[in-house]
Amino acid sequence: MSLFISNAYAQATPAAPAAGGGFDLIIMLAAFGLIFYFLIYRPQAKRVKDHRNLMSALGKGDEVLTQGGLVGRISKISEDKDYVVVALNDSTEVTVQKAAISAVLPKGTLKSL
């Protein structure tokens, strides 16, 4: 007899299989659905909503950071199109999509860089 391995004995009479496993399956699927909702769907929906609010609140003169890493000030914005003109300095302007703006920076950030 081993210390870690127990002896195996044959059953004297055949046992019936366990019945009623359907309810356990429904509970497990509901638990996975809740985990999916709270850990995956809800945070992503919140991020999308926050970004949509950020894009709608953009205005001329806001200092922004693009997803490409460019930092500049919005010099021209058109509501009917999805594009924004960002001035990187006094002579350089870049046209980017509104969706490419990742953050609005506090006033005075460009002067501190």
Do residue 65 and residue 98 come from a single domain? yes
16-20, 35-39, 58-62: range with highest mean pLDDT: 35-39
What is the pTM (predicted TM-score) of this model?
0.65
Do residue 41 and residue 68 come from a single domain? no
Which of 10, 39, 57 represents a domain boundary (last residue)? Answer: 57
Its domain, for residue 26, covers 22-57
> CA-to-CA distance for 88 and 70, rounded, in angstroms?
8
Do residue 101 and residue 79 come from a single domain? yes
Instruction: Identify whether 17 is part of a domain.
Output: no
Do residue 38 and residue 67 come from a single domain? no
Total tally of structural domains belonging to the chain: 2
pLDDT at 21: 66
Instruction: Identify whether 3 is part of a domain.
Output: no
Quick: pLDDT tens for 11-27: 776 656 656 667 888 99
Per-residue burial over 58-83, b if 16 or more Cβ lie within 10 Å, else e, is eeeebbbbbeeeeebbbeebeeeeee
pLDDT at 17: 61
